Amino acid sequence: MELQQTAKKSTEGMSTPWFAPFDSTTELSQDYWFRFCTFVAANSISDERKAQVFLTSQSPALYRQLSNLAAQKTPKKDINSLTMKEITEFMEDQYDPT
């Protein structure tokens, strides 16, 4: 039991590995999304953390766009309260229009 608690404590503080930011000049947004899904699965990132991991992986420009999106919501939202669904909808609208 003590060993399990020690192992749990040691993994709680671990940082998430780095994931490359989205670059619309080199990759389709859908391909990036699939790679990101593979990354979160391979690194056992919980659904609750996906949005924050995604946000910390992005360029300052894309982060700013997403922050502006959050501020335009009614009621206004903080960027850190965006859901993964809201982020993916924004990415599809901006980078994969039909």
Domain boundaries defined on the chain:
27-95
The yes-or-no verdict on residue 11 having pLDDT over 60 is: no
Contact at 8 Å (CB) between 49 and 15? no
Q: What are the DSSP calls for 50-87, one per residue? A: HHHHHHHTS-HHHHHHHHHHHHHSSS---GGG--HHHH
Share of the chain above pLDDT 70, in %: 85
Q: Which runs of E-coded beta strand occur in 1-98?
A: none
Q: Which amino acid is at 28?
A: L
> What pLDDT does 75 receive?
92
Contacts of 48 (CB under 8 A, 6+ apart): none
